[in-house]
Amino acid sequence: MSARFTNPVDAARERLAQRARQLEQLVAGSRPRRETEHEVTDQKDGAADEAQAEVDSAELQRHLAELRLIDRARERLAAGTYSECIDCGESISPARLLAQPTAMRCMACQRNAEHRGQH
């Protein structure tokens, strides 16, 4: 937590903003791979390019998913419900929010959600 923030909510707001800026830069820097105009003569190069394109696509999807989680956390901050579990309404521990600023559930409800296959 930054020394200039004494309130955990203010610290979370700043951390969410910083991470959102990082992700937005990464997403903006992502460029879809274009098909080359010439025929690929080496199958290994073609396979490597295809594999890298899949990795890049998966990484972009992870970045976009994290940005959606950040947006949801910011909405909860604005509504004054940031530290409330979306399932049981109990408080999410400050330590959990510090470690995972986008957390929406307390630890008990998170374990139950993971057990049920929800994220």
Q: Which residues lie closer than 8 Å to 52 by C-beta, 6 or more apart?
A: 33
- pLDDT for residue 55: 86
Q: What's the predicted TM-score (pTM) here?
A: 0.76
Structural domain harbouring 102: 8-34+43-116
- pLDDT for residue 32: 61
Query: What is the full DSSP assignment across 38-106?
Result: SPP--HHHHHHHHHHHHHHHHHHHHHHHHHHHHHHHHHHHHHT-TTB-TTT-PBPPHHHHHH-TT--S-
Q: What is the phi/psi pair of residue 36, to 5°?
A: -75, 150
- pLDDT for residue 16: 96
pLDDT tens, position by position, 25-73: 999 987 665 555 455 567 777 788 788 888 888 999 999 999 999 999 9
CATH assignment of the domain containing 66:
1.20.120.910
Q: Is residue 2 part of a domain?
A: no
Q: Which amino acid is at 88?
A: C
Residue 84 bridge partners (DSSP): 91
Round to whole Å and give the CA distance between 102 and 15: 10
- pLDDT for residue 67: 97
Domain count along the chain: 1
Query: Quick one: pLDDT band at residue 6, thresholds 50, 70, 90?
Result: low
Q: Is residue 59 part of a domain?
A: yes
Mean pLDDT computed over 93-106: 92
